[in-house]
Each structure stands twice: as structure tokens, then as C-alpha cells.
């Protein structure tokens, strides 16, 4: 019964946040348009050489995905903080870390999943072949949840702080760099016929550790911010 109650609370948080996000579609589409525009404009700056674009494509797409995910972090807790919902979540009988996990899951569903789905089109635009695109999608599928989880800690720490959008970027960017390196590195290794399994294992390890620790750290940061 308790487990069902916890799952019900998780579903309620996700359903509520998705409903609210659909009322502010412009915020969601802004992140996606930024991702598309950043990758699309990149060839105009470095030149149209197909071989060079194919080599740098994984890094370009991963950097754009990282920045797009970071762009949406400011909305993770701010609306709940402003309208008093966050205080109600703190008083809820369910663990705050579970409710934070629900909000992070919503952030990933609205930001990370669309980035994964858009990546094949952008990969083909940069000349990537089918195996590389498939591996790129897999790395993004493993890596974008880590970006959302780590970003939730930074968003919680800077909640209510003036200029928090800039501050959260400075806080989470060093944590994002290993995910970027191993995510793009796996695809680059595949393109030069080098073993890439270790990169995927590390991304999976990052996901498992961050899924356990990030909600706890974000919950503690939220309590400090509200107090």
C-alpha cells in the first residue's frame, strides 16, 4: 500500500507539471528551437566540408543538447517557489526526494526526450552515418537524464537568488563536463572503429549514482532555500 502511495505521488507530480508546462508551450519550444538552431548554424561558422562536419558532429550535438538542457533549469522549481506550492511539497507526507525526482522526470520528458528524438535529423544534416546516429541517440538517452538530475541540484541551490540563472550555469557546468566528454567520446570512438563500450558503462554509472544522490541533495537544498 505504501509503495502504491509513493508511485501515485510520483505520477501526480509528473502529471501536474506536464499539464502546467503545456499551458506554457513557448517555454518548452524555446529549448527545442535553441537546440535546432545551434546545431543548424554551426556549419555556417566552420565551413561546409562534409568530412570535417562528420567528425565534429557528435561534439556539436552534445554541446547543443547540454546548453539546451541547462536553459530549462530555471523553470524547474521557480514557479512552485513563487506560488507557494513548494512549501506544500515540503509539508507533504511523502519523501521530498521522491517529489523532486518526479519534477526532474518531467524536466527530462519535456527537454531530454525531444532532444533525443531530434538528434537523428540533426545528425544526418551533419553527415553522420546510421550506426553513429544510433549510438548518438543511445548516449543522449543515457546522458540527458544525468543532466536533468545534476541540474536539479544547482536549480535548488540558486532558488530565489537574484541572477540565479547565471549562477546555476556556473554551478552545474563543471558537473556536466564528464557527461559531455563520455557522451561525445563514445560516438567519436565508434567512427574511428575503437571500442566504445567503456563510455556507455560510465554513462550508465553516472546515471545510477546521480539518480540516487541528486534527489537527496536537491531536497536538502530546497529546504535551505525555503527556510
* Span 87-121, pLDDT tens digits: 787 777 788 888 889 899 999 999 999 999 999 99
Under DSSP, the state recorded for 94 is: S
Question: Helices 130-157 and 164-191 sit at what angle, rounded to 10 degrees?
Answer: 160
Lowest-confidence region among 38-52, 98-112, 123-137, 151-165: 151-165
Nearest to 132 by CA among 54, 203, 51: 54
Mean of the pLDDT values across residues 133-144? Answer: 95
Q: Which run of H or of E encompasses 14? A: helix 2-23
Alpha-carbon radius of gyration of the chain: 18
Read off the pLDDT band of 1 (50, 70, 90). Answer: very low
CB 141 within 8 A of CB 59: no
Query: What does DSSP assign to residue 192?
Result: T
Averaged confidence pLDDT in the chain: 87
126 three-state secondary structure: coil
Give the domain extent around 123: 2-226
| pLDDT attached to residue 164 | 62
pTM of the model: 0.90
Q: What's the pLDDT tens digit per position in 179-220? A: 999 999 999 998 888 888 999 999 999 999 999 999 999 999
Domain count of the chain? Answer: 1
Alpha carbon distances (Å) from 30 to 26, 116, 148, 153: 6, 16, 17, 22
Over residues 44-72, mean pLDDT: 87
Instruction: Band the pLDDT of 55: cuts 50, 70, 90.
Output: confident
Q: Which residue has the higher pLDDT, 9 or 138?
A: 138
- CA of residue 84 relative to chain centroid, distance: 25
Cell of 28: 518548452
Q: For residue 3, is pLDDT > 60?
A: no
Amino acid at each position: 500500500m505504501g509503495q502504491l502511495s509513493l508511485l501515485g505521488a510520483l505520477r501526480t507530480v509528473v502529471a501536474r507539471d506536464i499539464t502546467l508546462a503545456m499551458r506554457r508551450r513557448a517555454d518548452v519550444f524555446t529549448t527545442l528551437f535553441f537546440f535546432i538552431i545551434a546545431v543548424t548554424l554551426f556549419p555556417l561558422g566552420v565551413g561546409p566540408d562534409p568530412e570535417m562536419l562528420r567528425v565534429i558532429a557528435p561534439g556539436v550535438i552534445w554541446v547543443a543538447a547540454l546548453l539546451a538542457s541547462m536553459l530549462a533549469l530555471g523553470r524547474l522549481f521557480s514557479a512552485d517557489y513563487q506560488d507557494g506550492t513548494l512549501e506544500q511539497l515540503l509539508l507533504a507526507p511523502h519523501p521530498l526526494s521522491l517529489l523532486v525526482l518526479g519534477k526532474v522526470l518531467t524536466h527530462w520528458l519535456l527537454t531530454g526526450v525531444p532532444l533525443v528524438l531530434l538528434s537523428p535529423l540533426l545528425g544526418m544534416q551533419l553527415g553522420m552515418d546510421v550506426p553513429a546516429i544510433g549510438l548518438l541517440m543511445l548516449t543522449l538517452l543515457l546522458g540527458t537524464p544525468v543532466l536533468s538530475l545534476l541540474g536539479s541540484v544547482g536549480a535548488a541551490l540558486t532558488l530565489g537568488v537574484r541572477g540565479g540563472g547565471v549562477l546555476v550555469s556556473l554551478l552545474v557546468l563543471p558537473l556536466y563536463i564528464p557527461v559531455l566528454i563520455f557522451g561525445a567520446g563514445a560516438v567519436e570512438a565508434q567512427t574511428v572503429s575503437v571500442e566504445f563500450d567503456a563510455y556507455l558503462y560510465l554513462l550508465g554509472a553516472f546515471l545510477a549514482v546521480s539518480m540516487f544522490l541528486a534527489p537527496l541533495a536537491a531536497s536538502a537544498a530546497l529546504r535551505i532555500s525555503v527556510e
